[in-house]
Structure 1
């Protein structure tokens, strides 16, 4: 992992100095777990995130001698690799991970097999011009034309087995329907469906699998036939280029841009497109249904409330998606998670592991169809190589789930062992047996349900639509003007786990009026969530509504938890500073620090002791580590004396009134990044003054449109005017809900959410308040 053997003990962040039996290509020791890593094993095939859990937690980057690849397992590192496609080239994404022998190679040669660059494995500068030219059929407006066909097919295939009481959903629906949709989208004839299924599996095994020597020749024949079939279909299409289908669209674009859309490119895309548009969706849907039926309460919820289906699809893609890993080639010396990776190295980036990283997804192993950041998953990749067909896959999965939940809500899994085609990257059960009592089919008593239809959502679900019902278990006075609410799940089921610093959004009588409140209970308690709410008569109405209307037994709707104020548990020393109601997130941090045995102190300021919430509880938990400053008692917190100069390893966290936070920001101005973390409850964001602003443009990479942002309008307002759905809550730069990914352009950050290091990374913008420094931003929308 370090650049040379002699310095490997010092350069490796995960291994101590004593040598291990094996060393990697940079001289760093190979741990026993790394030496055993085998992505073709049953453990990896059954559950890739669990198989590499040890790595995600202890050794997030390691060298696999069996594979000859460096393996990367954490979310932030994998996202950064996707973002930098110059350092981390996609050129090996379709390279055979298991080299074939001379006999199999000769077979491929006799078929003229010449699979080359596609949208998946092409470097810049060639990639983006082709992607832009070929993007239009993937836009939401164009994809809507395919919805009636998907619905018709889903209905017809369910009709075939609904009265049988038992079915293998993979064989009887989930393979053929996505394949038919894929062929229709591409413009390919349907008559060779069974043959194409065999070809598609062979292509997967040939590229990402480990075929035994005796299997390689048979696989090569199938792949060679697949290649020739793709070429023949392409030639037929050239005879009628004005007919529907993405490949014919490419043929028409070739006439306009012959130097960009070449013959070789179209032939390779024909073959790759059949696999990409079909197999991943078939596997993803099978994984989703399996996962939902393994969580009966979630299956019941989407049966009862189909509006939950779009986010359930995202959570299924996150928790158990069809893409386990991708590959990248390191083009120049790089550093990942503190590990030196030399140029020429090959990476296996385990996206399924990233999707289970607790650093990004709170309680990541918990399956939660109301998780509000499920769509942050990396199943579709990220950045310029993000899957172009992602919204077609989402649409299909939504329609399949809608049809099955409406017509077979009583469906259940049968006892079976799930098997997978062994490979590093793509996974879905080969069979999915389900059963039900056909006499209880709802349509037998209520045939009108066949006429119901839920509007499909093309694209990511709106976070405003992902509310979680909770019941108010208790309302108690916590101090003068402060009430403490304890919230529980209506059915007594566990609520999502959360980490100190997290907040929830509470709908205060109206879905359009949601307010953010930090969680202040025990993060280890999965039964309830607790918030403390200060009555602010001059506020925006949320706290006034809670104080006036909320009683024990009431039902509320919440979103989250989300965390933009996360505690660094590796800090050597913690100084936790709170003023007034700012004690709510600080109290949870202090409880966690105490549980971990960290070195910490809590400094809590208020005007009057009677108005300071949680005092008795804090004193009981933290004893002399708690320092209380009460103004009317003549004691104030001298921040300069308390903090002094920066101390290495010390982290300061603060929440409270603006005056206190501004003073802390001034004191910490010269400190290293993230030595001071602040959460704001109020904004000092000035009103937009058009005379001091400039107009700019935002290019929406995925939508293919450009939106003008006038000097008198926020990015958020301009996007909404262009009918682009971006979630938002506070619209004051405080909550982080309007965050959008930035792909290019310099951001003028004005929010109170991002840290200094996050701002310098320049990869996100809070659209409600921040703007462009220059004339243009490129956003991932």
Structure 2
């Protein structure tokens, strides 16, 4: 079967540092000229319009997750260990997701608010009067780590080491594919905590997972194996730290570029939840979700053959003018009108979405209480133009 042919000369490459530094002009061209795009160099398809991405992510029979949700994993046809809920298909996915969803119930997430606020205050209070701070190292790298560490029951003096180990596995060099050999290599770093928690139960995720009973795909009533728990904890740690860290960095950058809207938020904090939604739309921490095509799929009059890899560009879909008029404009008053694609869609919608939104909201509330104005020290800012999780490694700002 012939691959899709591109009628346009637009070029998209997820490993191109120049494109990823500002992908939005390319995204716009993809949406208008090549809504189904084929890259013959890396042999993948890309889908960029909101409606197409939304529909595909809610079709898990055609676009499966069992080969991974990252292009590099799909291409090497890696054996995915059981228990990695984000890389599972029904029926096993539903069983494992039910277990995970018990960790992130609305009640449990709401109970975290005062603790997250205290983490923010602890990070920000020493910076008042200092003339500036770094949105990433002083806040973005701290609060998500403290929150996930608290949820898991990992001692604070070990959290930074774990965060850095997980980040190292998730972040490739700019312009390079991810080293898939590292992907599951570090799950055993949590072994000592799980073994200790088995002897000393507490009110945390590890204890919940150790005690959880469920019926597996064979109909057997059982508890999770040690290996399954290690993988669960690895997934929670990676997802919880990386994307919320990026969101906090974008808060600093985008609101510095829109001082009038920042002033509105200072004067009317009730606008902050809407501003977080707009930040998540305008600068998605995660820009793409990959899937393996389990059966021939038809898009825009062409066939995507079974066995292909497809990247769904949620970072592009969130700016599609068809869904969000004038989508390249940042507007805290925008009524998003339903489902952003920032956290995915369908059966794999991010379980931690409510927690990420809460962390972003509280971080912004606490920042604006102390620092109503700032400007970015662009000369010393460090940007990481990864396609999958795009954002700032360092964002120093000057404060009056």
Q: TM-score, normalised by structure 2?
A: 0.90
Give the C-alpha shift of residue 228 in structure 1: 2.1
Map 1:177-576 onto structure 2 (within 5 A): 177-205=143-171, 210=176, 224=185, 226-241=186-201, 243-254=202-213, 259=222, 261-373=224-336, 376-416=339-379, 418-437=381-400
Give the C-alpha shift of residue 260 in structure 1: 7.3
In proportion to residue count, which structure has more helix?
Answer: 2
| Equivalent residue, structure 2, for 1:152 | 118
Give the C-alpha shift of residue 376 in structure 1: 2.5
| Equivalent residue, structure 2, for 1:81 | 56
| CA–CA separation in structure 2 for the residues paired with 1:373 and 1:131 | 27
Kept after mapping to 1: 8 A contact 2:83/2:96: no
Displaced runs of 4 or more, over 6 A: 98-101
| Equivalent residue, structure 2, for 1:32 | 9
Q: Which has the higher contact order (CA 8 A, sep 6+)?
A: 2
User: What are the ranges of 5 or more consecutive residues in structure 1 without an aligned counterpart?
Assistant: 6-24, 106-112, 438-781
Aligned residues: 395
Map 1:121-140 onto structure 2 (within 5 A): 121-140=87-106
1:180-220 deviations in whole A, cap 9, x for unaligned?
101112222222233223212222135997269xxx6xx96
Q: Tell me, what secondary structure is at the counterpart of 2:298?
A: strand
Q: Tell me, what secondary structure is at the counterpart of 2:311?
A: strand
| CA–CA separation in structure 1 for the residues paired with 2:265 and 2:65 | 37
Q: Tell me, what secondary structure is at the counterpart of 1:400?
A: helix
| CA–CA separation in structure 2 for the residues paired with 1:422 and 1:67 | 19
Kept after mapping to 2: 8 A contact 1:78/1:354: yes
Kept after mapping to 1: 8 A contact 2:321/2:327: yes
Give the C-alpha shift of residue 426 in structure 1: 0.9
Kept after mapping to 2: 8 A contact 1:98/1:207: no
| CA–CA separation in structure 1 for the residues paired with 2:344 and 2:279 | 15
Q: Tell me, what secondary structure is at the counterpart of 1:322?
A: coil
Change (3 A) 1:85 1:234: same
Q: CA RMSD in A?
A: 2.8
Change (3 A) 1:140 1:284: same
2:19 is equivalent to residue 44 of structure 1: yes
In proportion to residue count, which structure has more strand?
Answer: 1
| CA–CA separation in structure 2 for the residues paired with 1:117 and 1:420 | 33
Map 1:36-75 onto structure 2 (within 5 A): 37-75=12-50
Change (3 A) 1:156 1:374: farther
Give the number of the structure whose alpha-carbon radius of gyration is greater.
Answer: 1
| CA–CA separation in structure 2 for the residues paired with 1:128 and 1:168 | 40
Q: Tell me, what secondary structure is at the counterpart of 2:233?
A: helix
Give the C-alpha shift of residue 176 in structure 1: 1.3
Change (3 A) 1:81 1:96: closer
Q: TM-score, normalised by structure 1?
A: 0.48
Q: Tell me, what secondary structure is at the counterpart of 2:57?
A: helix
User: What are the ranges of 5 or more consecutive residues in structure 2 without an aligned counterpart?
Assistant: none
Kept after mapping to 1: 8 A contact 2:320/2:327: yes
Change (3 A) 1:265 1:30: farther
Kept after mapping to 1: 8 A contact 2:7/2:33: no
Q: Tell me, what secondary structure is at the counterpart of 1:152?
A: helix
Kept after mapping to 2: 8 A contact 1:254/1:262: no
| Equivalent residue, structure 1, for 2:108 | 142
Change (3 A) 1:192 1:99: farther
Kept after mapping to 2: 8 A contact 1:39/1:424: yes
Kept after mapping to 2: 8 A contact 1:130/1:261: no
